[in-house]
Amino acid sequence: MKRMFKKLQITRVPLRWKIIGITAGVVLLMRLTEYLYVHTIMVKELETEFLARFSGIMKHISSSITNPMLTENTSTISHILKETKSSDPDILYIYLLKDRNKILSHTFIKGFPIDLLKLSDGNIRWKTYEGMNYISFKADKKKIYHIKTALPLNNEAELHMGFSTDYIKSVINQINYIFSAITLFLFIIAIGISTYLSSKITKPINEIVSATNLVGIGDFSQRININTGDELETLGTNFNRMVENLEKSKAELEKTFEKLLQTEKFTAIGTLSAGLAHELNNPLSGIYNLLKILKTKELPEEKREEYFRVIFESLDRVQNIVRRLLDYTRKEDDGLIENINIRDLIKNSLLLIPSTTSETLLHFVDHLPPSGGIVYGNKEQLQEVIMNILLNALYAIKDKPDGKIIIEGTLNNGMVHITITDNGDGIPATIKHRIFDPFFTTKPAGMGTGLGLPLSLRIIEKHGGELYVESIENVGTTVKILLPVKEE
Amino acid sequence: MKIVFPVIFLLLFSGCKMNDTPLEVDLEKKVILNPEEGNEKDFRFGIATMLTPSQNIYYYAELIEYIGRKLNMPASMIQRSTYSQMNDLIKLGGVDIAFICTGAYIKLKNEIPVRILAVPVVDGKKTYNSLIIVRRDSNINSFEDLKGKSFAFVDSLSLTGKIYPIYRVLKSGYLPEMFFTKTIFSGSHDSSIEMVAQGIVDAAGVDNIIFKYYIKDHPEIVKGVRIIEESPPFGIPPVVMKAGYKKPLYQKVREILINMHTDKEGAKILEKLHFDRFEPPSMLSYKNSEEIFKFVSERGF
């Protein structure tokens, strides 16, 4: 059945049309059954009834003509035959045959159809009915029943009669017309009812289908209202409950994601802290020494002013470092979406890297346009991605005397490409497939959470971008970030 | 899907035909067929319809077959609706020999020379009677009581079935049309007996020999009737032949009939007919029959 449906390519036929089609099919099947009944059993019954009727007439004629036959009263015989024929429109002809080829009397006008004599040539296989013989043949495309009987006391004489099946045909046609009309009526009614019922069934199903489509693309606000009082209503209720749970789970998942982001940030700060401490320590030591000099020694006015300028510069630097750190560690302000200048974003990230390392190891190759490449998104999140990747790169080259990191920014085909390449150890082929698995890390305990890359991937995908990692062991790693440029 | 439904529709709503018959007959090509020609070589035995034709077959078919066998030629039985038609057939040579009623014989004898081959002997006599019968429960007890009643004649030329009853009416001083309220012709003696028994007519005149057949073969019908009068004896119906016609056959058939009772098969056939034997027509008188016939026919009946 399924195969047949497939063959007929009706697998994609809507449920409603299937219901209507099946209903129509049932009605038509009913008609087929009726048709077969009428044309087999009913025709047989009508033929038998016909034979009974005409064999009765034959018996009557044969008894009526017995004595006229014995006295060779041809006129009486002829009269009886004619009267009998005219009494029934279905009787086509009657004739009396003797010795197989002598016609004693007949009802034909203008002579006897000589072809009828071939019925008596002995090759014809007659059927019997109540002591009489009958056959059917075609004359001028019409079916004719021919019945014969031997006359009592005139054994060599036979009475033959032909009758038309027009009556049977008309009865069958009439029955067919009636059945066809009933079928048509039932067909219309059935189509009407099934259309109504199927729409009742399919309407809530369609509602569920469109709701699931919307849920499928992330709209969890969908709720459906079905009041059919049957399984469909239960389905609707269950669907609503399921979507509610999904919505809750999604909210919880997002909360968890936020927490993870924060955790990851603090981990990054931990990684940065030594460098930062050093960075803060340098100006602070300078400030301390200068203040000490200023307190103890009488200095010329120019020198004092220079020292104060240096102190203020150093304090600016400290303030700058602390502000950047605060910026970075600040909890995401509910996903503020803004225009982000990628050049500034990269530069800000580089500033977070201790200057000692950044100056020697980090190279920013800027092919970005003068505008800097504007991307619409969450600045904090994108910065975290760049920081994560930079820190990973720094970790990779930490033991290399010639370690180098190149950050390249380009604009290509409406996408900002940020490529961060290091010449570190690279990722061993055996773990390449796991680098995006959450909590997978090769760093020692306390150095990494194993969430950096998976979170970065998620953030980039959320921004409609792509993130690839290409790595060759002992050669280095390239991380490529593609972000769509904001359309003007 | 697009194809399936139209196909089903076509199948269901078309009047496709079943039951094809291979035999074809052309009813349009017609010919005028010549009337059946009788076979001159057959021995043709005419039987007047003293009984209905089918009853005649029952009683006489074996006799005719017997004669044919003895003659060594095919024999056929010829019947006609009325006695006068049979007389005409004798005159025209349509039959070779005929067994006819006494009334018909007298009529024929008046018209052409006729020879009697043999006559049956019944209960030792070569005579028979007319019986006037009425329904058993009727209040008719004498011929005079029949006045104002309906009456069934057998045939115009039947002596016992018409001529004698008319003769009786005329002798009583009445005209038949004034005596009977209604008269019909039944065509045969057995029909007359049945009509009286059924009450279709009040009375009828019938042949006593046929009445005897009925007493034996149809007692239930005979039970319904009663005889109110028996005529004087008349010469028994003869087996006749047109004089001078097929003389050799005359001798042969006469021999066969007269000797019939001597062989077992012939005796059995005679027994069924209630005939003792066939005898030559010697010592046979049709005189009273002729007188009655003359009396009646002179008065236009």
The predicted model gives B199-228 an average pLDDT of 94
pLDDT of residue A8 exceeding 70: no
Q: How far apart are CA B219 and CA B2, in angstroms?
A: 81
pLDDT tier for residue B281 given thresholds of 50, 70 and 90: confident
**CA of A450 vs chain B CAs: smallest distance (Å):** 58
Q: Which helix (H) or strand (E) holds B271?
A: helix B264-272
For residue A43 the two structure tokens come to 């025709």
Measured between beta carbons, the chain B residues lying within 8 angstroms of A69 are: 53
Confidence at residue B221, expressed as pLDDT on a 0 to 100 scale: 93
Dump pLDDT digits (tens) for A277-291: 777 887 788 888 888
Dump pLDDT digits (tens) for A320-378: 778 767 766 666 555 678 889 999 889 888 877 765 565 568 888 999 998 888 999 98
For residue B219 the two structure tokens come to 């007692």
Cα–Cα nearest to B93, from B269, B241, B301, B283: B241
**Would you call B27 and A21 a contact, using CB atoms and an 8 Å cutoff?**
no
Kindly state the percentage of chain A with pLDDT values over 70: 92
pLDDT of residue B236 exceeding 50: yes
pLDDT tier for residue B19 given thresholds of 50, 70 and 90: very low
Task: Supply the pTM of this predicted model.
Answer: 0.61
Longest dimension (CA), chain A: 180
**Would you call B31 and A114 a contact, using CB atoms and an 8 Å cutoff?**
yes
pLDDT of residue A153 exceeding 60: yes
For residue A391 the two structure tokens come to 């820190």
The residue of chain A nearest to residue B52, with distances taken between CA atoms, is A67
Q: How far apart are CA B77 and CA A350, in angstroms?
A: 144
Measured between beta carbons, the chain B residues lying within 8 angstroms of A136 are: 19, 21, 23
A434: three-class secondary structure by DSSP? helix
Confidence at residue A388, expressed as pLDDT on a 0 to 100 scale: 87
Confidence at residue B150, expressed as pLDDT on a 0 to 100 scale: 96
- Give every CB contact of residue B183 below 8 A, 6+ residues apart in sequence: B150, B151, B152, B153, B176
Confidence at residue A202, expressed as pLDDT on a 0 to 100 scale: 81
CA distances to A40, B63, B256, B257 from B261, rounded to whole Å, are: 64, 12, 9, 8
**Would you call B53 and A136 a contact, using CB atoms and an 8 Å cutoff?**
no
ipTM for the assembly? 0.80
Which of B23, B32, B49 is closest, CB to CB, to A138?
B23
Dump pLDDT digits (tens) for A367-424: 999 888 899 998 888 888 998 898 888 888 888 888 899 999 999 888 999 999 999 8
DSSP A134: E
For residue A445 the two structure tokens come to 């305990």
Question: A472 or A153: which carries more pLDDT confidence?
Answer: A472
Positive or negative, the Cα torsion across A413, A415, A416, A417? negative
**Would you call A32 and B5 a contact, using CB atoms and an 8 Å cutoff?**
no
Dump pLDDT digits (tens) for A237-257: 898 999 899 889 988 988 887
Measured between beta carbons, the chain A residues lying within 8 angstroms of B155 are: none
The residue of chain A nearest to residue B49, with distances taken between CA atoms, is A71
Question: A124 or B135: which carries more pLDDT confidence?
Answer: B135
Using the Cβ of B12 and the Cβ atoms of chain A, whether some distance falls under 8 Å is answered with yes
Core vs surface per residue A286-317: b (16+ CB within 10 A) or e? bbeebeeeeeeeeeeeeeeeebeeebeebeeb
Dump pLDDT digits (tens) for A449-477: 777 888 888 889 888 899 999 999 889 99
Confidence at residue A359, expressed as pLDDT on a 0 to 100 scale: 59
For residue B263 the two structure tokens come to 């062989």
Using the Cβ of B137 and the Cβ atoms of chain A, whether some distance falls under 8 Å is answered with no
Half-sphere exposure of A31 (CA within 13 A, CB side): 25
Average confidence score pLDDT of chain B: 89
Confidence at residue B49, expressed as pLDDT on a 0 to 100 scale: 84
Quote helix, strand, coil % in chain A, to nearest 5. 60, 20, 25
For residue A271 the two structure tokens come to 């990684």
Using the Cβ of B13 and the Cβ atoms of chain A, whether some distance falls under 8 Å is answered with yes
Q: Are A34 and A187 in contact (CB under 8 A)?
A: no
CA distances to A295, A321, B186 from A308, rounded to whole Å, are: 12, 20, 170
Which of B21, B26, B28 is closest, CB to CB, to A143?
B21
Q: Are A113 and B30 in contact (CB under 8 A)?
A: yes
Question: A34 or A276: which carries more pLDDT confidence?
Answer: A34
